[in-house]
Amino acid sequence: MTKRKRRVVVALGGNAILQQGQKGTYEEQLENVRQTAEVLGDMILSGDYQVVITHGNGPQVGAILLQNTAGLAEGVPAMPMHVCGAQSQGLIGYMIQQSLGDVFREAGREDIPVATIVTQLIVDKNDPAFQNPSKPVGPFYEEEEAKQLADERGWSIVKEADRGWRRVVPSPEPKDIAEKESIIKLLEAHIVPIVSGGGGIPVIKEKGGLRGVEAVIDKDLAAEKVAEVVDADALVILTDVNGVAINYGQPDEEWLEELTLEEAEKHMRDDQFAEGSMKPKVTAAVRFVKSGGEETVIASLGEAEKAIKGETGTKIIE
- Which strand ranges, in their side-by-side order, compose the sheet holding 6-12? 114-116, 192-194, 49-55, 6-12, 234-239, 295-300, 314-317, 258-260
Q: Are 155 and 214 in contact (CB under 8 A)?
A: no
The CATH number assigned to the domain with range 4-120+175-201+213-308 reads: 3.40.1160.10
Q: Catalytic positions, please?
A: 14-15, 135, 219, 281
Q: Are 277 and 14 in contact (CB under 8 A)?
A: no
Residue 95: predicted pLDDT: 97
Q: Are 150 and 156 in contact (CB under 8 A)?
A: yes
H-type helices in 79-168, by residue range?
A: 81-106, 143-153
CA distance 100 to 46: 14
Residue 2: predicted pLDDT: 59
The torsion angles phi and psi of 46, rounded to 5 degrees, stand at -65, -25
H-type helices in 114-209, by residue range?
A: 143-153, 180-188
Residue ranges covered by each domain of the chain? 4-120+175-201+213-308
CA distance 148 to 264: 44
CA distance 3 to 305: 20
- Burial class of 181 by CB neighbour count within 10 A (0 to 12, 13 to 18, 19+): exposed
Q: Are 40 and 53 in contact (CB under 8 A)?
A: yes
pLDDT tens for the chain, residues 1 to 318: 556 789 999 999 988 899 888 999 999 999 999 999 999 999 999 999 999 999 999 889 989 988 988 898 899 998 999 999 999 999 999 999 999 999 999 999 999 999 999 999 999 999 999 999 999 888 888 889 889 989 988 899 999 877 889 999 999 999 999 999 999 999 999 999 999 999 999 999 998 899 999 999 999 999 999 999 999 999 999 998 999 999 998 999 999 999 999 999 999 999 999 988 899 999 999 999 999 999 999 999 888 888 888 899 999 999
CA distance 261 to 107: 40
